[in-house]
Structure 1
Amino acid sequence: MDSDIIIVLPLLAVIGFALLALTILQRLSDINKSLDAIQSELFTLKNAAFKSVETDDKVAEETTAKVAETDANTPSAQSVSPVITTEKVDNEPHEAVKTAIVEQRIEQPPTIAVAVKTTETENQKPAEEKQTIANGEVDAMQVKSSSNAITTSNKPQTDPIAVQITTDKTAKTTPIQSAHTTAQAPSSDESKVKTTNFERFIGENLFGKIGILVFILGIAYFVKYAIDQNWINEVTRTILGFGVGIAMLVVAQWIHKRYYTLSSLLAGGAFAVFYLTVSIAFHYYQLFSQTAAFVILCFTTIFMAAVSIRYDRLELAVTALIGGFIAPFIISSDTGNIIVLQTYLSILNLGMFALALYKRWGLLPIVGSVFTYFILLQTVIESDLFPTPPHLFSILLGFATLFFFIFLIPVRLIMQSTYGGGIRKGLLSVITLNGFAYLFYGGYLIEEIAFGSKETGYLSFFIAIVYLVFYLFLRFRISGHDTLRNFMLALTIAFASIGVPLLFNGSAILITWSTESVLLLWLFTKEKSVIYECTAAVLAALSFILCLTLGVFQDSDHGIFAFKMFLNSHFLSLFTFAVCSFLAAIIMQRNRRLFSKGRHLLRFTPCNVIAYAIGFLFVFIALADEFTANLNEFTADAASALTITTLLLVGTLLLRRRFKVRKYKLAYVILLCAITFIYMLNIWSGDAFRLPSVLVLQWISTLTVVILMAYVIQKMALLQWENHLTRPVFAALSTLVWLTGARLLLLTFYNPSFDTGFSLSLGLAAFILMVIGMRSKSKEVRMVSLAEFGIVLGKLILIDVWSMAALGKIVVFISLGLLLLTLSFLYQKLKDVLF
């Protein structure tokens, strides 16, 4: 029978330590509540003390004011003092002490918090009153005897009265102050006992749990010894186990009014004995069939729940719930039925939630969810290890759906009661993990049923719809519960977003996520809910990453050229994402104040600029990919270059109010440099002989570049911003565009040579710049012109004279000579204006 002890002892240890841990947690919670109550009481007493002190200070000030007013109404105050002093020589020590005490009490009024009468203060009060009266009589007699030296007879009767009033006042405040000191001492002692009462916790609680555990172990050792001695057989042992448990319950019932904690411990230990007895009787003695043992354990669990309601103890309810979950494993065998197990778990969880709703015990759903999904995980593992009939997966999916709805009941618990931070967070975690557990477990079952299909996405959308129903109910039918309502909204958005990649491919995911992101951003501007803003930002980031990771034609099933231009999923997905980026930027721009003030994840600056930039970028990428897939290389390059210049021109004109030239001057200068470089790269690269379609696209690109440069330069000229820097830059960029256009003109007429054309075009550009510089009186532009003339002359001397053809030399030299002569004539004519 050593194997019995090997089984019994670990079970006893686990149950004992579980009870111990639960009770310790409960006790710590009670201690925290007591400390909060003590702190609140001390704070109330402190406020009362301050109010009492203020009241007494006001009374003392009023008394002092009355004395001062009386002294002011008596003109012979100074003439009385010498008489009183001379008359009181014999009684000088006594009177000096009394005078000092009276003056000190008048100058420093006592602080009074609580007026409490004690025997000592009551005895002290008459004595002080008698002393005050006696002193007043002595003063009156002395003042009376000196009436010959005093012109007025009213003053000797005034000072004793004032002194008597002050003395009475101080005599009344002194006992009260001592009583306040006496009243404060018990409060501090009481708080000290409540905060450091570990002795009571150990003696009442901890020793009780250890005692129960030791007692059960003692019973186990006694039973083992009796079995070894053949005193009792299997039936007697089982009856003895039930008898011990019943005896512990009887004792718990008998003492539950006087010893509340001990009775709960005894009740918990009694049910632990019942579980162990049934387990041993079934596994080792075969006294019960599996059905009978299971029924006994079910009734034991129900009875234990009733006892927890009787004693109003959460620990017993948790223990009963844990016992209910381990009961099937206690009587498990190799012929177990998974359908029966799922049915039992459903009934157990429903009963658990009924108890939780009745007693408002929020810990029960947390424990139930952990054990339930752990058991479901175990069934998944066993189904992989052992063959499972296919029809069972459909039934298990139905049970999984039932568990999903059961563990949504914590929503009602949160609405019903106001729980603390820990329990409330635990219930919200149950609601969240319930959805994800159902998605994973249900998705596994769906894949087993449909052999790897994508129906799991429908399951995710179903979960999102359920959470949406709860959100709408809380939104329109129930007031308050803002946190719970926002939580349900966040879960709705999360599961709807998760369902997209589970059901669709890459392009459909991108379209759905980007559209959802814009919709959530718009809802944020209407509802001002942070959840909308955060989820919109997350979905936008995921969409951007997905755009970068998508292949050029990942969605094509028939090769690169097997689909129509602009009518394919790849283009539609990228173009939709770009449009959504523009919409997001417009939404932020129209609600600029909302996104600029406060602390937001999506700040207007820089998110608005980033959204516009991403929109233009992915419009270009979408069009460039289409050109690459459907056109030849040279035409595709020309079309891509035209796309860039057109987007820059259209963006500049459409967003001229959003990005004003006077505010973004440097950015526009950089823009002109970039578009000039792109234009030159497009024209100067490629073959000398070009297709007509390529030439047409390049001439359109030239037109867009010229329009954009003219617009920006005209706006910058009006601003007069850094003319000494911007004018030379604009002159140089204009010259480069002029030369590139001349190159394109020669290519249009199928003339690949550009030696003569370069000299003529650069000389003409220098002449035009000189004319503009003279008209605008811009020395910077004239210096650029002179530099260009220098380049032309250098080329003529170093290159053209030696390598150019005769006809070319004639044309270039004559043209350049005429330009230089004209330029010299203009300088001489305008020298008074220019210099």
Structure 2
Amino acid sequence: MNEYIAVILIIVIAIIFNNLNTKIRKLEKEVSDLSSKINKKTLHPEPTQEVISTEEIITPLPTPIYEPQRETTALNENSETPPIIQKDWLSPVFEFLKQNILTVIGIFTLVLGIGYFVKYAIDKNWIGETARAGIGLCTGTAIILTGHFLRKNYKTFASIITGGGIAVLYFTTTIAFREYHIFSQNTAFVITSIITTAAIFLSYYYRSEVLIIFSLIGGFTAPLMISTGENNYVFLFTYLTLLNIGMLAVAFLQHWKSVGWTAYIFTSIYLFYWTVDLPELLSITFYLISYIIFYTFALIDYFRKKELPVPDILMLSLINGSSIIGLTYIFNELQYEPVIIFPLIFALVNAIFLFREYGKRNFRISFSVFAGITVSLITIAVALQFKAHLITSVWAIEAALLLFIWKKTGHKIFKTCFHIIFPLVIFAQLITWCEYFNAVNLNIIFNPVFLTSLVTIVSIGINLYLLKNSSEETETGTHTFFEDLITAASYGVIYTAILLEIIYHINSLPWAAITSVALLYSIYYIFILLFFRKKLSIAKDLQTGLIYLFLFLIVINISVATSSIVTDILSKQLQNSFYILHLLQWIPFIYVSLKIIPDTDFHQSKISYWIISLAFIVSVSGELHHLYVLATSHGMEDFYAVKNHFNILYLPIIWTILASIFIYIGLRKNIQEYNKIGFSLIGLMVLKLYAYDVWQMDNISRISAFIALGIILLLSSFTFQRLKNIIKNMVDTKEKNEENQEV
């Protein structure tokens, strides 16, 4: 029953197709007749009823004068050349898919339909194994012949049809070899090679770029189709080399860039798989052959048109980077030396073209590209010589190279590629840092992990410089969100790389010392960013955030880390001299408070005065507390007694002095927030004194504390009164002078 339904459907579809075809032919004939009539009217126009006199025909019309056009011309001459609008390189692909998506889906569906029909015939035992293969080969040939007859009027459609026929031939050969064992592997390889050669020939004959892409995909996947699982890489890459040479010839004759990129992608996948699966010396030969082929492919337009288009620049960058990764990996696995030989050889090749451009005094795009690649390869060679990690270093340098080329050419594709590869750099760097956990006895600085980080830091520094300059050249002078994210991540990578190296080499110290050193490094790192904030073009909002983070780290270091250091010193786990290292935090703290904060927008909100005052109070109180404990304690046995004595007797005095200073600054600079902070601190001190401290003191300490605090408060009050009178007299004098001037 199902067979009859299928036959009826095929007949109905054939009738409908025939009717539509007849109507389309009639419509084409009507359009052709209408077009011929219009052409006749255009060539032989009908005479008008009015007779035009000979004088009117001969008399020339006066030449019109267009004054506005002159002005426009003058403006155009004085104006700058309009920027070149960059075309989206993906638009031709989308345009092709938009116009031919039905054809692609149709041929794909047809191939599946034929496959299901053959499977159905097999299940019904209608045909044998040899007949099945014959049907597939005949069907593929019939589809190719159909495309051949349609090529004149429907070029793209015919190319896709022919590509589908080639796909049927490939799959039929594969099934006949793998499933039915009709012929041997060598015979299958010969057949697939003949199919590939015929497909390339048809592509060249039809001048169809679409067809040759189908052909190349089939040619590169043919070894997978007839594979038996044996690793015969020599045979495989000999075949691929011949296929790439054919690709290069077609690209040279027809100037089709897509064929080179298709071949590069498949060749790279095969090469990397061979490199990881079975690294051997022979694979280096095929790496070098592939490098020569694709490097030549990238330079076709350079020699032909004296220019380097965007795809060729990208190909030059990728072929150098991928070849270095593969070749160096093989050398490292086989433990051959020197590992820098291939980066230097490739650098020499690019340097030849660099000096060629220099000799012509041509310092344009080509010069910049060859210079960037040459410098990148030399940098990779230096990094590898010092045993830096391969992939992280190559990706980091490749990212900087792409951003440099974007800067020089202005083509957004290179910036897009940078945005893609930069997260990979961070991911690879994270993997590299994980080696700190298992590494033993690494040298200071000159170890593989930190040298890799150093390469990444240098490349990131170049990236930040290029991104900074690119923002200055825009109208708004601002980065996009993604660029701000890259900038923040870059500073984070630099910070983490140095921090992990420091922690690795001090990991034998007590945890308090490690924490203190890490916090001290963090404080200085933020201080350096703030110190060079203008040269680094750090946004104002980010500057404010860095200041808040800086003050927070200061408070944490004083209140938590330093207390642990004091405990370790008293318990003899650390030397007394280690405390001197901690005191270095006061240098950036004082400089940030006196120089950087007044020069920023930190004090736009009132809360900022309270935060910096809190940091100052905690820092001074904590530092004096630690110094007093270290000076008077003899060990951990009297640590808590000395600590409580300081908190009860000296801390209220310190807070009173600080409160007086805040009130003085508030009156002097007319900042009400400092006055509030000073009086709040006095209130807190009084509350602490009368609610807790008094009940913990002996009589002598109580008398001494009250007398000292009383004297300080009276002197402070007297000083404020004098200052208040001075300010009042200054204001009165100023008002009198203004009145006298008016008179």
Q: TM-score, normalised by structure 1?
A: 0.54
Map Cα deviations across residues 584-624 of structure 1 (whole Å, 9 max, x no partner): 11111123245667999x67862574255335532454345
Aligned-partner Cα distance in 2 for 1:47–1:545: 71
Map Cα deviations across residues 492-549 of structure 1 (whole Å, 9 max, x no partner): 4784697599768994322221121112111110111223211211111111233345
Q: Report whether the alignment pairs 1:402 with 2:242.
A: yes
Consecutive unaligned residues in structure 2, runs of 5 or more: 57-113, 115-126, 334-387, 634-638, 729-743
Q: Supply the AA of the counterpart residue of 2:266.
A: A
Q: Report whether the alignment pairs 1:576 with 2:455.
A: yes
| 2:488 paired residue number | 610
Q: 2:428 aligns with which of 531, 539, 546?
A: 546
Output aligned runs, 1:81-480, within 5 Å. 336-339=183-186, 341-343=188-190, 345-346=192-193, 348-380=195-227, 382=228, 384=229, 388=230, 392-412=232-252, 414-415=254-255, 428=258, 431-443=260-272, 450=278, 463=290, 466-478=293-305
Map Cα deviations across residues 535-591 of structure 1 (whole Å, 9 max, x no partner): 21111111123334555435x7xx444222333222233343333323211111123
Contact 1:582 1:615 in 2 (8 A): no
Aligned-partner Cα distance in 2 for 1:798–1:701: 34
Aligned-partner Cα distance in 2 for 1:318–1:689: 77
Give the number of equivalent residue pairs: 553
Aligned-partner Cα distance in 2 for 1:329–1:715: 76
Aligned-partner Cα distance in 2 for 1:516–1:744: 50
Q: Supply the AA of the counterpart residue of 2:623.
A: G
Q: Supply the AA of the counterpart residue of 2:242.
A: L
Aligned-partner Cα distance in 2 for 1:278–1:660: 73
Q: 1:703 aligns with which of 570, 583, 587?
A: 587
Contact 1:638 1:698 in 2 (8 A): yes
Q: 1:563 aligns with which of 442, 450, 453?
A: 442
| 1:650 paired residue number | 528
Contact 1:346 1:403 in 2 (8 A): no
Q: Would the alpha carbon gap of residues 327 and 760 (structure 1) be closer, same or farther in structure 2, given more than 3 Å must change?
A: closer
Aligned-partner Cα distance in 1 for 2:605–2:551: 17
Aligned-partner Cα distance in 2 for 1:501–1:736: 55
Q: Would the alpha carbon gap of residues 510 and 321 (structure 1) be closer, same or farther in structure 2, given more than 3 Å must change?
A: closer
Q: Would the alpha carbon gap of residues 704 and 802 (structure 1) be closer, same or farther in structure 2, given more than 3 Å must change?
A: same
Map Cα deviations across residues 707-733 of structure 1 (whole Å, 9 max, x no partner): 2222234435xx895485544443333
- Structure 2 residue matching 1:531: 3-state secondary structure: helix
Contact 1:520 1:533 in 2 (8 A): yes
- Structure 2 residue matching 1:591: 3-state secondary structure: helix
Map Cα deviations across residues 227-284 of structure 1 (whole Å, 9 max, x no partner): xxxxxxxxxxxxxxxxxxxxxxxxxxxxxxxxxxxxxxxxxxxxxxxxx99977999x
Contact 2:200 2:212 in 1 (8 A): yes
Q: Supply the AA of the counterpart residue of 2:304.
A: R
Map Cα deviations across residues 434-492 of structure 1 (whole Å, 9 max, x no partner): 333334445555666x3x67998997786566433312222343368947546745764
Map Cα deviations across residues 640-693 of structure 1 (whole Å, 9 max, x no partner): 111011111111112235457977674365245333333333324455242334
Contact 1:770 1:782 in 2 (8 A): yes
CA RMSD in angstroms, aligned pairs only: 5.5
| 1:117 paired residue number | none
Output aligned runs, 1:667-682, within 5 Å. 667=545, 670-680=548-558, 681-682=560-561
| 1:516 paired residue number | 398
Q: Supply the AA of the counterpart residue of 2:267.
A: Y
Aligned-partner Cα distance in 1 for 2:693–2:168: 103
Aligned-partner Cα distance in 1 for 2:28–2:478: 39
Aligned-partner Cα distance in 2 for 1:39–1:821: 113
Q: Would the alpha carbon gap of residues 279 and 597 (structure 1) be closer, same or farther in structure 2, given more than 3 Å must change?
A: farther
Aligned-partner Cα distance in 1 for 2:665–2:486: 39
Q: Supply the AA of the counterpart residue of 1:573.
A: T
Q: Supply the AA of the counterpart residue of 1:667.
A: G
Q: Supply the AA of the counterpart residue of 2:396.
A: S
Contact 1:471 1:485 in 2 (8 A): yes
Output aligned runs, 1:579-728, within 5 Å. 579-594=458-473, 606-607=484-485, 609-610=487-488, 613-629=491-507, 631-659=509-537, 666-667=544-545, 670-680=548-558, 681-690=560-569, 691=574, 692-715=576-599, 722=604, 726-728=608-610
Contact 2:453 2:497 in 1 (8 A): yes
Q: Would the alpha carbon gap of residues 363 and 598 (structure 1) be closer, same or farther in structure 2, given more than 3 Å must change?
A: farther
Aligned-partner Cα distance in 2 for 1:545–1:56: 83
Shift of 1:824: 2.3
Map Cα deviations across residues 713-763 of structure 1 (whole Å, 9 max, x no partner): 4435xx895485544443333222211221332244254413134223222
Q: Report whether the alignment pairs 1:734 with 2:616.
A: yes
Aligned-partner Cα distance in 1 for 2:705–2:484: 53
- Structure 2 residue matching 1:749: 3-state secondary structure: helix
Q: 1:792 aligns with which of 682, 685, 695?
A: 685
Q: Would the alpha carbon gap of residues 413 and 496 (structure 1) be closer, same or farther in structure 2, given more than 3 Å must change?
A: same
Q: Report whether the alignment pairs 1:533 with 2:426.
A: no
Q: Supply the AA of the counterpart residue of 1:580.
A: S
Q: Supply the AA of the counterpart residue of 1:529.
A: H
| 1:168 paired residue number | none
Map Cα deviations across residues 158-210 of structure 1 (whole Å, 9 max, x no partner): xxxxxxxxxxxxxxxxxxxxxxxxxxxxxxxxxxxxxxxxxxxxxxxxxxxxx
- Structure 1 residue matching 2:443: 3-state secondary structure: coil
Contact 1:500 1:512 in 2 (8 A): no
Output aligned runs, 1:21-32, within 5 Å. none
Contact 1:507 1:573 in 2 (8 A): yes
Aligned-partner Cα distance in 1 for 2:519–2:694: 37
Aligned-partner Cα distance in 1 for 2:176–2:283: 35
Higher relative contact order (CA 8 A, sep 6+): 1
Q: Would the alpha carbon gap of residues 366 and 576 (structure 1) be closer, same or farther in structure 2, given more than 3 Å must change?
A: closer
| 1:70 paired residue number | none
Q: Would the alpha carbon gap of residues 331 and 552 (structure 1) be closer, same or farther in structure 2, given more than 3 Å must change?
A: closer
Shift of 1:823: 1.4
Aligned-partner Cα distance in 2 for 1:640–1:688: 18
